[in-house]
């Protein structure tokens, strides 16, 4: 009887965490009782791609505030990276921030960029791959070229740069790669087929890496944020090549702030969590249901899909998808 009561209490606490907290249970425990990011990042060299806006920018600022951290920030827009650097320097005591602009899809430049980081700082400890773009499109209308472009940016460029990093980490005795996936890497979202597939692919690649390199001091963290404030709707892929969505988030949208997402991501990285689910209710609860009771989740998904509930949660009711 006591065991039954303890199980009920345990499950009730877990349920409460998923409802009241904005991350999964392990991330919650890491926030409350885990290693402090400021201590774990101390003296480290951290490279963040996709750092000119959104979560990447917020993460650069979060880490800069920890003090003795050397930071590399990369994205396509040099002027925006310079702005982020200046803001980071107001928070950092080391003031050692390298702006390294480049297009992630320029695969041929990856090794040169990596060598520039090592040349500047003498080492790299953590690579955070945050660059990527989302999508809004109807499945049957998507041009195959869009699928290829999404995978070039969200998957193949990420895999290539991380392979360079992992080879380096194996030589020096260890390292840490963190990749920004998405909640759609776990739950397939309607209206974003190419993007959803790209994030599923990220999980496949990096789960395989984790299993291969777990005994070689190579740590892999997959970050899975839900709806978060950023400028992703502006350059969001659609169903046609070269036609970005051009959307804009509203201050009243129900989304997590990029600053909060960055803090939780930093906690996950500092504590070397394998995966971190980050999002406002009901995102994390949906992920638990989908993971541990996929049959029930599939039945519920079919019911709520009729009312476009998924897209309403993701886009806070905005009409970001043309369906006719």
pLDDT for 311 equals 66
Residue scoring higher pLDDT (309 or 235): 235
Whether residue 322 has pLDDT greater than 60? no
**What does the chain come to in residues?**
324
d(CA 63, CA 74): 15
Instruction: Give the model confidence (pLDDT) of 172-223 as tens digits.
Output: 999 999 999 999 999 988 899 999 999 999 999 999 999 999 899 999 999 9
Which tokens in the block code for residue 179? 């990749």
Average pLDDT over the chain, rounded to an integer:
91
Domains of the chain plus CATH, in order, are 22-315 (3.40.50.720)
- The token duo for 226 is 């839900």
Show which residues are catalytic: 195
pTM over 0.85: yes
| Among 140, 189, 145, CA closest to 324 | 140
Determine the pLDDT at residue 323.
46
Mean per-residue pLDDT for 242-251? 88
pLDDT more than 70, % of the chain: 93
- Which residue in this structure is represented by tokens 């039954």? 4
């Amino acid at each position: 009887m006591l065991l039954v009561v303890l199980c009920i209490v345990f499950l009730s606490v877990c349920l409460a965490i998923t409802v009241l907290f904005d991350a999964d249970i392990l991330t919650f425990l890491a926030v409350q009782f885990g290693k402090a990011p400021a201590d774990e990042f101390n003296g480290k060299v951290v490279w963040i791609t996709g750092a000119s806006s959104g979560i990447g920018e917020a993460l650069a600022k979060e880490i800069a505030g920890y003090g003795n951290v050397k930071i590399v920030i990369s994205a396509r827009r040099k002027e925006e990276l310079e702005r982020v650097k200046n803001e980071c320097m107001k928070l950092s005591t080391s003031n050692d921030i390298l702006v390294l602009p480049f297009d992630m899809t320029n695969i041929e430049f990856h090794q040169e960029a990596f060598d520039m980081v090592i040349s500047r700082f003498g080492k790299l400890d953590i690579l955070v791959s945050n660059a990527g773009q989302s999508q809004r499109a109807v499945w049957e209308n998507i041009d195959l070229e869009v699928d290829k472009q999404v995978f070039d940016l969200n998957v193949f460029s990420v895999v290539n740069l991380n392979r360079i990093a992992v080879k380096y980490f194996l030589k020096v005795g260890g390292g840490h790669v963190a990749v920004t996936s998405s909640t759609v890497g776990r739950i397939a979202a309607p209206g974003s087929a190419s993007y959803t597939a790209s994030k599923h692919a990220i999980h496949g690649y990096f789960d395989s890496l984790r299993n291969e390199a777990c005994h070689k001091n190579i740590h892999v963290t997959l970050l899975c944020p839900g709806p978060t404030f950023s400028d992703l709707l502006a350059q969001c892929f659609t169903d046609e090549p070269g036609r970005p969505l051009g959307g804009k988030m509203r201050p009243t949208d129900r989304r997590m702030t990029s600053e909060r997402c960055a803090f939780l991501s930093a906690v996950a990285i500092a504590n070397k969590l394998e995966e971190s689910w980050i999002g406002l209710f009901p995102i994390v609860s949906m992920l638990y249901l989908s993971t541990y009771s996929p049959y029930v989740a599939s039945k519920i998904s079919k019911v709520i899909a009729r009312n476009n509930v998924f897209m309403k949660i993701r886009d806070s009711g905005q009409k970001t998808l043309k369906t006719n």
